[in-house]
Amino acid sequence: MTPFRLVPETFPDMPAIAGLSLGTAATGLKYTGRDDLMLMRCAEGSTLAAVFTQSDTAAPPVEWSRERLAEGTAISAILVNAGNANAFTGAAGKQTISESTTALARSLGCAPEAIMVASTGVIGEPLDAAILAAEFDTLVKQDNASWQDAASAIMTTDTFAKGASASCMIGDTPVTIAGIAKGSGMIAPNMATMLGFVATDAALPAPILQILLATATRRSFNAITVDSDTSTNDSVFLVATAVAAHHAPTTVDDPLLDDFVRALDQVMQDLAIQIVRDGEGASKLITIDVAGAPDEDAAHRIAMSIANSPLVKTAIAGEDANWGRIVMAVGKAGAAIDQAQLCIDIGGVAVAANGMRVDDYDETPVTAHMTGQHVEISVRVGTGSGTARVWTCDLTHGYIEINADYRS
């Protein structure tokens, strides 16, 4: 078996989505020598779903896009800039969006309301619409960028571009799903995530698309954490260009959609896990499975309590099989479990069972597992039916280095 590599060696081969085009440009706002503006345009008749951060300090671009989504506006394009989050910028931040969507709408020949926006970067600094608008002509003309170009243009502290795709069938019609994401720190999405842009050529009414996205988000972007900090700008968009000529599903539960749901889960989990693999300072990916909880919410809470514990994460960074810290993290989750039923496996090896260390515990295979780049923790907390799987990374000196001096 090839050892698991935390950082992918190459960007995946990604298929084009019929009815979708990508463009990128460089504003020079914060970065030099790279693009920082991305435009995703979609064919007339496309539908859109999106989920956003639940933060009380959600940024103006989140508020703009949430309002457009609620209005059910027809979607023409999504504009994304990296380097300035346009967050906590108040009325001036809203004005920036109004001006830039108006300017872009002129170039695209659509209504400003047909443009969704997303921003990522520093919080609290004014964002000048003119700096973005100066690149709109370039952006609109250059409409044949690759997924890799687009994924690269939305990066901030990311160290690699993130993309994933899958094929599936709706009835007997082949359909494609492809998406990109960015994110590396301030990752603990709450009903949303960092920026993610997923597209498909399927033809799905917006209400169905929204439910599919929300469900897949729960199992992907909402099941990851790097540092327990929730961004002001988290947004995931799913565009369906309606180019594929498949039978129309009648409801979200239509068996016609089963393979699409599987493929959407695959793409979104792949992207979510790439964000964790690029977690600031990460040296290891950690998968945490919880079973036997009273319900799914309790299982998720316990899994996230382990995934967010700095003591668990530093122990794993040190390749120390300090499983007592997992006991601690389960205990503080507030899920009212009975510790006499608690069982813990690491790397498939039983470490603790029924409230105590297992008899004749041999740490050797567990320590060997800890030296790899993928650490698997499995916890059983009782006999309930609640399960959850979440992904996180370890907490290393790299995280401190990146974040004690990121803005400067």
Q: Which one, 133 or 187, has the nearer CB to a second copy?
A: 187
Crossing angle between the packed helical segments 258-277 and 206-218, to the nearest 10 degrees: 50
Q: Which one, 85 or 286, has the nearer CB to a second copy?
A: 85
Least distance to a second copy, CB of residue 143, Å? 33
Which residues are annotated as catalytic? 193
Query: Do 373 and 206 contact (CB within 8 A), yes or no?
Result: no
Give the range of 48-56, 74-82, 105-113, 128-136 binding a second copy by CB under 8 A: 48-56
Q: Does 213 bind a second copy (CB under 8 A)?
A: no
Q: Does 89 bind a second copy (CB under 8 A)?
A: yes
Task: Give the span between the Cα atoms of 264 and 275, in whole angstroms.
Answer: 17
Q: Does 171 bind a second copy (CB under 8 A)?
A: no
Query: Long-range contacts of range 31-36, CB-CB < 8 Å, 24 or more positions apart?
Result: 31/82, 31/83, 34/152, 34/153, 35/149, 35/152, 35/153, 36/81, 36/82, 36/83, 36/153
Least distance to a second copy, CB of residue 221, Å? 15
Say which DSSP state 12 is in: P
Query: Do 206 and 47 contact (CB within 8 A), yes or no?
Result: yes
Least distance to a second copy, CB of residue 134, Å? 24
Q: Does 406 bind a second copy (CB under 8 A)?
A: yes
In the Cβ-directed half-sphere of 326, how many Cα atoms lie within 13 Å?
A: 27
Q: Does 206 bind a second copy (CB under 8 A)?
A: no
Query: Do 111 and 105 contact (CB within 8 A), yes or no?
Result: yes
Task: Give the span between the Cα atoms of 403 and 184, in whole angstroms.
Answer: 11
Q: Does 395 bind a second copy (CB under 8 A)?
A: yes
Structure token digits, residue 350: 């039983």
Q: What 3-state class would DSSP assign to 356?
A: strand
Least distance to a second copy, CB of residue 273, Å? 21
Phi, psi for residue 206 in degrees, rounded to 5:
-55, -40
Give the range of 246-254, 258-266, 267-275, 351-359 binding a second copy by CB under 8 A: 351-359
Least distance to a second copy, CB of residue 64, Å? 15
Least distance to a second copy, CB of residue 397, Å? 5
Strands 47-52, 235-240: pairing kind: antiparallel
Q: What 3-state class would DSSP assign to 172?
A: coil
- How many residues belong to the site for a second copy (CB under 8 A)? 72
Task: Give the span between the Cα atoms of 311 and 390, in whole angstroms.
Answer: 17
Q: Does 238 bind a second copy (CB under 8 A)?
A: no
Residues 24, 82, 104, 125: which binds a second copy (CB under 8 A)? Answer: 125
Q: Does 54 bind a second copy (CB under 8 A)?
A: yes
Task: Give the span between the Cα atoms of 129 and 62, in whole angstroms.
Answer: 16
Residues 117, 129, 352, 377: which binds a second copy (CB under 8 A)? Answer: 352
Query: Do 9 and 1 contact (CB within 8 A), yes or no?
Result: no
Q: Which one, 111 or 191, has the nearer CB to a second copy?
A: 191
Q: What 3-state class would DSSP assign to 66?
A: helix
Q: Does 372 bind a second copy (CB under 8 A)?
A: no
Q: Does 368 bind a second copy (CB under 8 A)?
A: no
Q: Does 248 bind a second copy (CB under 8 A)?
A: no
Q: Which one, 157 or 200, has the nearer CB to a second copy?
A: 157
Residues 208, 317, 366, 390: which binds a second copy (CB under 8 A)? Answer: 317
Residues 7-46 binding a second copy (CB under 8 A) are none
Give the range of 95-103, 139-147, 158-166, 180-188 binding a second copy by CB under 8 A: 180-188
Q: Which one, 4 or 406, has the nearer CB to a second copy?
A: 406
Of the candidates 243, 230, 178, the one whose C-alpha atom is nearest the C-alpha of residue 46 is 243
Residues 137, 143, 297, 320: which binds a second copy (CB under 8 A)? Answer: 320
Least distance to a second copy, CB of residue 333, Å? 7
Q: Does 334 bind a second copy (CB under 8 A)?
A: yes
Least distance to a second copy, CB of residue 140, Å? 31
Q: Does 88 bind a second copy (CB under 8 A)?
A: yes
Task: Give the span between the Cα atoms of 393 and 374, in whole angstroms.
Answer: 9
Q: Does 294 bind a second copy (CB under 8 A)?
A: no
Residues 73, 98, 107, 228: which binds a second copy (CB under 8 A)? Answer: 228
Of the candidates 109, 87, 123, 269, the one whose C-alpha atom is nearest the C-alpha of residue 196 is 269
